[in-house]
Structure 1
Amino acid sequence: MHALFPKLDQRLLFLLLVLPLLALGAWFLRHPQEPSATLVYPQQMMKHRVILIPLDGRPPCRQFVIDAGRISGIEVLTPPHEYQDYYSQPGDTRAMAAWLQQSLEEQPADAIILSVDQLLYGGLLAAREHPATEAQVETLLQFLESLHQAHPEIPIYAFSILPRLTPQDTIDGYEERRDIMAYSRLAGRKAAGLAIDEGKLQALHDKIPPSSLERYLSHFRENAVLNEKLIDLTRQGILTRLVLGQDDGEEYGIPNIEKYALQEYITNSGLSEREVFLTHGADEIALTLLAAWQNAQAGIKPRIFLQYNTPAASKQVMPYMAVSTGVCAEEKVRLLGGTLSRTPEDADFTLLISTNDAERDTMGSRRQTVQMLADAQAAHQPIGLVDLSKHFTAAETVLPQLIASDFPLNQLLAYAGWNTTSNAIGTALAEACLYQAAQKEVGSTEEALSRAGSQITFLQNRILEDYFYLKEDIDLINGSLKKAGYLNTADLDLEHNYRWANLMLQSLMMRQIQAYSHTPALQAPFPVATPEGIRFLRVKELKADMSFPWPRTFEIYLETTPLLEILP
C-alpha cells in the first residue's frame, strides 16, 4: 500500500477504501434485494433425429423446423448451406440427394421429411420458373424408391407444392401477366360451374401470346403428372405420407382445377388423408409434418378447440387464400392428426384466431379478443393466438392490446401472425402440439425446464418477427431503402451493401426489443409443470440476432436468446 501511495497515512487509506464499502452495505440494508433466482440454460436434450430436405433456404422452411424440433427433443438435421438454394439460384439437387443417402448410412434417423420441389428443381422459386424433363422426374422417383428399399424402417414424409395462380417471372410484361391472371380466374369460375362471360374468356385467350399461355398451362400439366406419380408411390408404400400444398391460392383459378383433379385421383386410388393430404399453404408444411410425425409416434391425437375473434371470422377469406379461415384451420387440425373439440373445457388446447380487417369494422373485436385470452388464462386453459391482419398492418393486430393490458405473453402456448393464414395457423398449431407432446414425455425437472426454454425461444421469435418486424419495422426499412435508390426492395444488392442493410435492421429492431423487454407483459412469471411440481420462470433478459437471409426485406433470419430465471 505504502509503495503505491507513499504520501497517504493509514487513516486516509481507511477513509478511501473502507468507508465506501460500509456505505454500500448500508445502502443494501435500506434497499433489500429480491431473493436470488436460479438462471435456466436450456440444454440440447435430444431424443429423436429427423432429416429434413427443406422447401428452400428461407428461415420459415428450414430454421423454424430446427428451432421447433428442440421444443420436443427432436434433432432436425438439414443439408449444408452450400447445397441449399439462395434466392433465384437453385440448390444443388444431386449433392443434396447424395448428402441424404450418406447421412442415413452414417447414423439412422427416426423419420425423413423431404421437399419434392427441392430435390427436383432446387427449391420453391426454381420450381415456379423452370420445367423438369421426364428424365429428371424419373430420376427423382427412382431415388425415392431406392431410398425406401435401403431403409424400409424409416418413414418418408414427402411434400409437393402446386403452382400458384401468378404467372412465372419469365412471362414478362404487365398487361400480359394481368391478362393471364384474369384468364385463369375466369377459367376457374367456369370449372366450378359458375356463370361467366364466355366472350371475355375467349377475348383474353386470343389476346395472350400463345407461347406465354402455353408456358403457363404446361406448368400445371407437368405438376399434375408429377403429383399423380407421387400418389402412386404412396399407394405402393414407398412414401409413408404425401402432402400436396397449394401455394398463394385464390377462390377461383386454374390451380384449383388441378387441385380438384388430384383430389379425385387420390379418391380413386383408395388412399385416406393419413396417406395423401391436400392442404392450403407451402412454407409451413415441413413444420406441420414434424408435429404430425411427433403426434403419430407418441400416439397423441390432440383435441383442439378453434375460437374466433368474431362470428364471421371463420368464413372470411384472407389474402392469398383459396378457402376460408375456418376451412383452413380445420384442415390443419386434421393434418396434425387432431380432432375438433366443441368446448375449451374438453380440449387439450384452444387456438384463438383473430382476422381483423379495418375495412369491415372488426377493430372493436380486439378488446374482446384480449378478454377471451385473459379468461382462458384465468381458467388455466392452454391457448395459442393467431394474430392475422387483412392489410398486414400493426393497427389490425391484437398483440399491442395484449402488451398494453400487461397480459402474460409467455403463458401463450403459441403465437403466429406471419404472412398468409395457412402459414400462421399451421405454425401456431405445430408449436402448440410439439410443446404439449414434450410436456407429456419429460422425465426430469431439468428436461421440463429445457423444453420450456426452447418453447419461449420459439414463441418470442414469432412475436419479434411477425409483429415487431413485419408489422412495424419493415415499412421503415423499405422507406429508407427507396430513399437510397432501391425502388424494388425484393432485389437488394447485399453483395455490396450487406453491412448497411443489416445495421439498419438491427438498430431498428434493437430499439423495439429494448422497449419490449421492460414491459410487464414479457416479464410476467409463467408456470412450468415438472415432475417435482409447478415451477415459475420469467424472462430476465431478451437478446436477439437478426439479418437478411436473402437479398430482399420480405423475411429475416432471427434467433432470440431469452435469459430465463427460476423464481424461488
Structure 2
Amino acid sequence: MKKCTILYLPLDERPCNAEFVCKIARGTPVEVVCPGAEILGDKKQPADFGKVRKFLVDNVAKADACVISVDMLLYGGIVPSRLHEMTEAQLTERLQVLAELKKINTYVKIYAFSLIMRCPCYSSDDEEPAYYERCGREIFLSGQVKHKLREGLLTEAQAQALLAGYKTVTGSDIDDFEKRRATNLAMLLKLLADNPCDYFVVPQDDSAEYGYTTMDRLAVKKFVADNGLPDVPMYPGADEVGMTLTSRAVTDFYGKHPQVYCHWTNERAQKVTPLYEDRPVGKTVPVQLAVAGCAETADESACNIDLFLNYPTEKQVEASELPVHGYKERNLDKFCADVLSALRQNKVVAIADGGYCNGGDVELLQMLSGHVDLTDIPAYAGWNTSSNTLGTAICEAVFVWLFGQTEQSKLFVAERYAEDAGYCGYVRRYMCDNVLSEWGLDYFHADGSSGKVAARVAQELNAFLADKLPQVAAKYKVSHCSMPWRRMFEVRLDMDKI
C-alpha cells in the first residue's frame, strides 16, 4: 500500500493521547507525525501556542491528513481548557491556524475534535480549578438543578431553594466556572459555523444524563439545527478520540471502510449505561464505529471485523468494586468460544473489555486463555471509560484489518493487557493500599515521574502477568514504567519481547 502521512496534534501529553496512535501505526505504511514533549504541556501547564502552531505549519505540507485536538490548539490541552482566562477574541485568533493549514496544503484533509467541557460530580482540584476541591460537588449539583428546571422536572421554587443552598458553598466561584464554560461553548459554535474542517466531532468528557455538559450538548444540537448546518457526531468520549479520528482518516485515505459485527456477552448488555456516560452503550457503539470509518453489520458472514463487547447486563462498577448481579448474567463461555471460532476463521477479532470501569476484566482474560493464546488476539482494550475502551479496540482492529497483524501490533496488545488489566485492574490499587503510605506517599504524590514508585510498578506488573496471564508473561516483559502526571491514575509503560 502507498504511504499515508498523518499530522497529529493530541489532546494532551499523556501516553493515551500522545503515544497510542503512534504505537498502533508502527510497522504500517501510515506515518504519524507527532509533536515532541518539548512542544506539549504538563497537566495544568498549557502547551506553548507558538510552538504548537509552528509544529503544524512546518509539517502540514507533507501531510495527507491532519488529526487535530482543538482543545490543544486553543487552550494548550484538556486540563488547561478548564483553567484558562482567555477571551473569545484571543481564541478566535488561534482558531485561524486551521485555515492557515488549508492555505499551505490545499489537498490536506482536517479531522478535528473539540470536547464539551466536563463537570465532575465530585470535589477535587486535581484537574480542575483550585476552588473545585472545596465546592466541585455543589457546582455539579447546581448544573443538574438548572437542567432539570429547564426540563420541567423541578418547579421554580424547588430549583431556587436548592440553588440558594449550593450558592452558600460555591460563592462566586460558580460564576467563574460558568463564564469559562460559556467561552468554550462559544468557540465550539464558532468552529461549527466557520466549518474549516473536513470532518468534525464533538465528544462529551465525563458526561451525565443531567447537568452542564448535557445542556451544552443540547445547545450545540440546537445551533446546528437552527443554522441548517450538517449534523455533527456527539457522543461520550475524550482520550480515545485521537485514535478514532486517525482510523477515520486512514480508512478514507485508502478508500476502505470495514463492516463490523458485534458480539455481546448478553444482548441485554446493550442497554447498560456505563459509568461517566449519558446513554446506553448500545447507542454509543454504532456512533463510535461510524466516526472511526466503519459500519455495523447484522450479517456476521459478511463482516471484516468481529467486535466482542464484554459488558454486564446491569450497573457497571469500578474494577476495584465487587461485581453485582448483572455480571453473573454474562455468557462468558459462549463469548470465549465465539472468539476462538472467529480466530480459527482468520478473522480480525477485537475485544472491547467494558466489563468494569477503570480496569480490564481479569476473569474474562483468564477464561479466554483457556480457549486461545491471548497474544494471538489482534485487538484488545479495557481501560478507564467505556468509550476509551471502544475507541482503542476499534482503531487497533482497523489497522490490523488494513495492514495485517505484525510484531508491533502484538506488542501494543501485550501492553494493553499489562496496563489495562494489570495496572488499572490490580497494581494501582495494590500500590495505594499497601506501599505508598509506607513510603510517605499517596495517590496524588507518586515520587515524581520516574522515582521508586514507577520502578516498583514495573516489578509488580511483571509479577501480575506471571501469576494471572502467563501466556503474556512467557513472551513479553515490562521494561520501563513512569508516572506521567506524577500521580497513580495513569502509567506510561514500555514492553519488550522476550
TM normalised by structure 2 equals 0.89
Q: Which residue of 1 is the match for residue 177 of structure 2?
A: 216
Aligned residues of 1:389 and 1:397 also touching (Cα < 8 A):
no
Secondary structure in 1 aligned to 2:327?
A: coil
Mapped to 2, the partners of 1:71 and 1:49 lie a distance apart of: 13
Deviation at 1:146, TM superposition (A): 1.9
Name the stretch that deviates more: 418-427 or 379-388: 379-388
Q: Which residue of 1 is the match for residue 355 of structure 2?
A: 389
Q: Which residue of 2 is the match for residue 421 of structure 1?
A: 386
Name the stretch that deviates more: 282-291 or 160-169: 160-169
216 and 379 in structure 1: CA distance in 2 versus 1, 3 angstrom threshold? same
Whichever residue aligns with residue 175 of structure 2, its letter is E
1:504 and 2:463 correspond: no
Match of 1:258 among 216, 221, 241: 216
Secondary structure in 1 aligned to 2:50?
A: helix
Aligned residues of 1:50 and 1:111 also touching (Cα < 8 A):
yes
Mapped to 1, the partners of 2:149 and 2:300 lie a distance apart of: 41
Secondary structure in 1 aligned to 2:201?
A: strand
Deviation at 1:427, TM superposition (A): 0.8
Q: Which residue of 2 is the match for residue 204 of structure 1?
A: 162
Deviation at 1:94, TM superposition (A): 1.3
1:407 and 2:375 correspond: no
How does 1:142-181 map onto structure 2 within 5 Å?
142-166=96-120, 169-170=128-129, 172=131, 176-181=135-140
Match of 1:188 among 130, 139, 147: 147
1:100 and 2:65 correspond: no
Mapped to 1, the partners of 2:386 and 2:177 lie a distance apart of: 26
Aligned residues of 2:273 and 2:279 also touching (Cα < 8 A):
yes
Whichever residue aligns with residue 460 of structure 1, its letter is A
Q: Which residue of 2 is the match for residue 482 of structure 1?
A: 437
Deviation at 1:278, TM superposition (A): 2.0
Mapped to 2, the partners of 1:335 and 1:352 lie a distance apart of: 18
Q: Which residue of 2 is the match for residue 347 of structure 1?
A: 303
Aligned residues of 2:382 and 2:389 also touching (Cα < 8 A):
yes
Q: Which residue of 1 is the match for residue 89 of structure 2?
A: 135
Match of 1:374 among 340, 348, 352: 340
Q: Which residue of 2 is the match for residue 30 of structure 1?
A: none
Secondary structure in 1 aligned to 2:44?
A: coil
Whichever residue aligns with residue 241 of structure 1, its letter is Y
Mapped to 1, the partners of 2:44 and 2:92 lie a distance apart of: 24
Deviation at 1:363, TM superposition (A): 3.0
Secondary structure in 1 aligned to 2:307?
A: strand
Mapped to 1, the partners of 2:146 and 2:198 lie a distance apart of: 35
Mapped to 2, the partners of 1:434 and 1:265 lie a distance apart of: 35
Aligned length: 479
Secondary structure in 2 aligned to 1:185?
A: helix
Mapped to 2, the partners of 1:516 and 1:46 lie a distance apart of: 41
Q: Which residue of 2 is the match for residue 36 of structure 1?
A: none
272 and 470 in structure 1: CA distance in 2 versus 1, 3 angstrom threshold? same
Per-residue deviation, residues 396-436 of structure 1 (Å, max 9, x unmatched):
75112223x14222332311101001100011111111211
Secondary structure in 2 aligned to 1:118?
A: helix
Identity %: 24
Secondary structure in 1 aligned to 2:145?
A: helix
Deviation at 1:250, TM superposition (A): 1.0
Match of 2:79 among 104, 125, 136: 125
Mapped to 2, the partners of 1:392 and 1:140 lie a distance apart of: 35
396 and 200 in structure 1: CA distance in 2 versus 1, 3 angstrom threshold? farther
Deviation at 1:493, TM superposition (A): 4.0
Per-residue deviation, residues 133-177 of structure 1 (Å, max 9, x unmatched):
123212112222222112211112221111112287325266632
Deviation at 1:346, TM superposition (A): 2.1
Whichever residue aligns with residue 416 of structure 1, its letter is A
Aligned residues of 2:261 and 2:307 also touching (Cα < 8 A):
yes
Mapped to 2, the partners of 1:393 and 1:419 lie a distance apart of: 6
Per-residue deviation, residues 205-263 of structure 1 (Å, max 9, x unmatched):
223145222222222211221011111232xxx32122211101112112111112212
Name the stretch that deviates more: 466-475 or 540-549: 540-549
Aligned residues of 1:387 and 1:397 also touching (Cα < 8 A):
no
Name the stretch that deviates more: 198-207 or 546-555: 198-207
Q: Which residue of 2 is the match for residue 82 of structure 1?
A: 38
Q: Which residue of 2 is the match for residue 468 of structure 1?
A: 422
1:285 and 2:215 correspond: no
Mapped to 1, the partners of 2:2 and 2:258 lie a distance apart of: 22
99 and 175 in structure 1: CA distance in 2 versus 1, 3 angstrom threshold? closer
Q: Which residue of 2 is the match for residue 27 of structure 1?
A: none
Q: Looking at CA atoms only, which structure, 1 or 2, has the larger radius of gyration?
A: 1
Q: Which residue of 2 is the match for residue 551 of structure 1?
A: 486
Mapped to 2, the partners of 1:111 and 1:292 lie a distance apart of: 10
Secondary structure in 2 aligned to 1:142?
A: helix
Q: Which residue of 1 is the match for residue 202 of structure 2?
A: 244
Runs (5+) with no aligned partner, structure 1 = 1-44, 440-450, 524-538, 564-568
Aligned residues of 1:246 and 1:281 also touching (Cα < 8 A):
yes
Aligned residues of 2:149 and 2:156 also touching (Cα < 8 A):
no
How does 1:306-321 map onto structure 2 within 5 Å?
306-321=262-277
468 and 194 in structure 1: CA distance in 2 versus 1, 3 angstrom threshold? farther
560 and 140 in structure 1: CA distance in 2 versus 1, 3 angstrom threshold? same
502 and 210 in structure 1: CA distance in 2 versus 1, 3 angstrom threshold? closer
Deviation at 1:297, TM superposition (A): 1.1
Which structure's relative contact order is higher, taking Cα pairs within 8 Å and 6+ residues apart?
Answer: 1
Whichever residue aligns with residue 507 of structure 1, its letter is Q
Deviation at 1:129, TM superposition (A): 1.6
Whichever residue aligns with residue 461 of structure 1, its letter is E
554 and 46 in structure 1: CA distance in 2 versus 1, 3 angstrom threshold? farther
Secondary structure in 2 aligned to 1:84?
A: coil
Q: Which residue of 2 is the match for residue 535 of structure 1?
A: none
Runs (5+) with no aligned partner, structure 2 = 317-322
Mapped to 1, the partners of 2:96 and 2:6 lie a distance apart of: 22
Match of 2:189 among 210, 219, 228: 228
Mapped to 2, the partners of 1:465 and 1:540 lie a distance apart of: 16
TM normalised by structure 1 equals 0.79
Deviation at 1:342, TM superposition (A): 0.8
